[in-house]
Structure 1
Amino acid sequence: MKPSLTPIEPAARHGRKKLYVSINKKFVLSHLSSAVWLTFSIYLSLPWLKDLSEIVTLPISILIIGGIAYLPGYMNGFLVMSLLLDRQPSFKNPDPDKEVTLLVAAFNEENTIFQTLSYVANQDYKGKIKAIVIDNRSSDNTYCELVRAQKELNLEIKVLKESKPGKFHALNKGLQHVTTEYVISLDADTLLHPSAVRFLVARMESSPEEVCAVAGSMLVRNSRENLLTKIQEWDYYLGIASIKRLQGLYQGTLVAQGAFSLYKTNSVRQVNGWPDAIGEDIVLTWRLLQKEWKVYFEPLAAAFTDVPSNLSHFAKQRSRWARGMIEGLNEIKPWNQPQIYTKYLTGVNLVMPYLDMVYTFFWIPGLILAFFGYFWIVGPMTLFVLPLTILSYGILYMYQKHYVFKNLNLKVRKNILGFFAFILFYQMIMSPISVWGYFQELFKLKRVWD
């Protein structure tokens, strides 16, 4: 997605007041619809279950089919109904003016840091924005670019140096110098839509007091590079966005991503800042949720990032995400989360390793067997998962296009090849990479960021 340079106003909503459905009712209705779909799926799968059990026994058959069809179908059903019931509240004040501080941890970012800060300087936010950039042992010309930004940009920039390696060290160093009520974390290679900060703060200002963080919306900037980036464009536009909308609806967005999120400064300090973890933003968010605070998601607060353009970097990034999820589960068990919605949302992560392992060790080999005429695992019944998946993506596509992109003066790029590759092959790439991330954390292998 090409970044827009045009500030925008949110579209006014007119017409009769719509029927209000409480979060509790949305939660129950979504689970009921999922249960209906699950019952239907089990009924349809009985012949498949019978045939497979003659080969690998009934318990193993249930384990395999449960990971391929039952649980994914239930989760997709819950997602679809939740998205249909979701209504993003209007901003109470779309033009806030509270002073905010923006933290940027930079390690060898000479090619991107000036442009990143220039987009910050061009925000349409009415309040003052302070930028604190922490140079984390850069060996290139990052510092020179920061000095140039201080001279040329209409932005207050404070440059700090942190000798300890690690993004969490850099962010915590910057946190010590924050004096504003709100602090925003931003990656050094991420570009902000000109209204991004305004919408992020507006969502916080329009939220209940117990909301301590708001995650921004990440979009792909370099989707034209190759097929892998084209696929990731749809993952960010549909997959990640749909999950964040679901979690935001139930007031427990599980990752206020470090790439672009807003936090209440005192809340971050109360949990001792960013932790020493490969998924520091995941663990930080879960610590905040454990304090009985809530984390929201604002789809209009858009930022643009470059995604990995080769399989090696993609594998390192996504295995790191999977490993970060396990770090969070190890530190804070879902049953220790104080809010029912957060218990459920973090509890879903407990089954993700199971789903990824079933997909990796059974579905992919089953797909290979199907090409040779053996439909023991992958057969016609597996196609019943596709309609609900396409439906959920279709709902989100229309929302993203008409509510988010239209309001942000953005256009959805034509990327048909990437879409079909995303639907058909993305999970075949992601599940084995995630499994590798789980094993990395299980055996405490060396952390790899690059």
Structure 2
Amino acid sequence: MDLNDDAPAVAPEQGGSAAEELAYRLRQQQLTAEFGHFALRTHNTAALLQEATRVCALGLQSKFCKAMEYLPDERQFIVRAGVGWKPGIVGQARTGADLKSPTGYAFRTGEPVISNHLGEETRFRTPAILVEHGVKRAINVLIQGDGRRFGILEVDSPTEGRFTQADLAFMQGFANLLGVALERQQAEEDLRTSQQKTRASETLLQEALAHQEVLTREISHRVKNSLAIVAGLLSMQGRAAADPALRQALDDARARVQTIASVHDRLWRADEIQSVNLAEFMGELCEQLRSSAKPGQTLTCDFAPATVATDQAVPLGLLANELVTNAFKYAYPEGAGDVRISVRPGEAGRLRLTVCDQGAGLPPDFNAAQSKSLGMKLIATLGRQLGGQPEWQGAEPGTRFVLDFLPQPGSNQES
């Protein structure tokens, strides 16, 4: 799973600015979306659980995270995966499942548990494993798909501070995604076992594939809904903000999150899971960008008849959104003007993304590598994810952005 772990993100309890907190929340949504892609590609339950704990700990900037499976015969939990724990914990440690245990309470009631001051907790007893590791606060959420309850996902922190309702929303959405992925893997395992024992018929195989497609779309649906909720919260905060700069930053963030949601919705509505039709995908994105443009602003599009891997479609769509939005905003201060975007075959089997305008042009001292703008950092990050090197050029008049990238295996292009 390829994640930009050094992306700027400051946890709210660390006293960061509004912009840093915003980057922190956007980072959580990016982690959720990218984990969804990883979950669809892996068929190993242990690897899935381990990656989930790593990414979830990263999302809440905590040292510890563990995934616990409920054992009905023993009526307790076993730590199946985790990060930060001493040797001998993962795969062996057990914890109680009664209502006086925060883990047991979350599992039996389905209600999440936040304990920001374990030393003063009176509702539950503090598990010995947390005392041993000096944990001061914890958050527990249920892992469940559409069927049985698997267990609990728990993040623990040895630092003072507090987990918030926004952290809970991230955790619960992440646990729901994990639950659906585990259920998909169980369905695949059941199918493999059935085939080994009875050489299951073609009908059974088709039913299993159809079930996997339903679960795949369910993962997409949950990711999209989670992102839509965040976009709505950002919109509400933006309307309430008195500072124009903060209001603009929140609106920009809302647009980015909404684009991620739209990209995921488009990808998983397609017939092919591994690849996407470039012209159709980018064409729909352009229509969305046109609908949000100001009067007098036009967008001209030209896309090659090609397919790209879904892992590339997400950063490509986000990059196109960022570049076109910036061009409308900065190239034409008066509002009217045309922006052109194209993705055409380049040299050595590469594709070339070009976005250009005929506006004000680049400032004389422009240096993309030294820019502190969140938008410029996002463009650079997305360019690296595509495997290319972003290049800014003067178009005389205007500005041209060029990125050459190599389609991943499974992609196809026509000259």
Query: Which one has more relative contact order, counting CA pairs under 8 Å at least 6 apart?
Result: 1
Question: What TM-score do the two structures reach when normalised by structure 1?
Answer: 0.29
**Structure with the largest fraction of strand:** 2
